[in-house]
Amino acid sequence: MFLGFASWLHKTPISLALQHQVAWLWPACETLHFTGLALLLGVAGMFDLRLLGFMKRVPISVVKEFMPWALAGFTLNLLTGIIFIISEPAQYFGNPTWWAKVTFLIVAALNAMIFETAYGRRAAAIPAGEDTPIALKVIAGVSLVAWLGVLWAGRMLPFLGAGVGAGL
């Protein structure tokens, strides 16, 4: 089903336009994708470390002030990622490793939503010097593992499972 969608997408005007775009579009998007990665993991990683009990002298609400930059990195990567997918859909939909990446992304997103809705206010009220409850440490651990999983699967895309959907 997804491979049918991939070959349809590959023939759409927007995909064709991107495929025949200037030669530097793809490398430029890759560079931005790595920039967004550093921003996202740097800022979200710092927040997770605070939830795990590092940097206790800083209130969680203060660490959270940096989170718009994590969101900026994520948005950058979502946009450049969409450009990759539209340009070469089969390369992604046809690769099980890409689905692993999507799975890690969904875990990271659900985890962040659980944090925001169930613990956001409680976490923001934790003052400087105070440790976090175990639930928040679990959420932080899941977040770190999930984002590293996204990175792992993304970097493994050309090596692991590639070629399964090739030739579409």
Partner 1 sequence: MEEFLIRLQESDFGVWVSSAPTLLAYPTILMLHTVGLAMVVGPAWVLDMRLLGFGARMPIEALRGAFRIMWIGFAINAATGIALFISEADEKGLKWIFWVKMASIAVALIVTSRLRRVVFGGGKVTEMVPPQAKMLAVASLALWFVAITSGRLMAYIK
Which residues here bind partner 1, judged by CB under 8 A?
27, 30-31, 34-35, 37-39, 41-43, 45-46, 54-55, 57-58, 62-63, 65-66, 69, 148, 151-152, 155-156, 158-160
Q: How far is CA 77 from the centre of its chain?
A: 7
Of 67 and 107, the one with the shorter C-beta distance to partner 1 is: 67
Cβ of residue 104: shortest distance to partner 1, in angstroms? 14
Of 135 and 157, the one with the shorter C-beta distance to partner 1 is: 157
Of 9 and 123, the one with the shorter C-beta distance to partner 1 is: 123
Cβ of residue 22: shortest distance to partner 1, in angstroms? 13
Of 38 and 110, the one with the shorter C-beta distance to partner 1 is: 38
Cβ of residue 29: shortest distance to partner 1, in angstroms? 10
What is the rounded CA–CA span in Å between residue 36 and residue 71? 9
Apex 85 CA angle, 80 and 86, nearest 5: 95
Determine contact, residues 43/74, Cβ cutoff 8 Å.
no
Cβ of residue 116: shortest distance to partner 1, in angstroms? 19
Cβ of residue 145: shortest distance to partner 1, in angstroms? 13
* Three-class DSSP labels, 106-131: HHHHHHHHHHHHHHHHHHHCCCCCCC
Determine contact, residues 5/89, Cβ cutoff 8 Å.
yes
Tokens for 107?
């875990």
Of 6 and 74, the one with the shorter C-beta distance to partner 1 is: 74
What is the rounded CA–CA span in Å between residue 109 and residue 97? 18
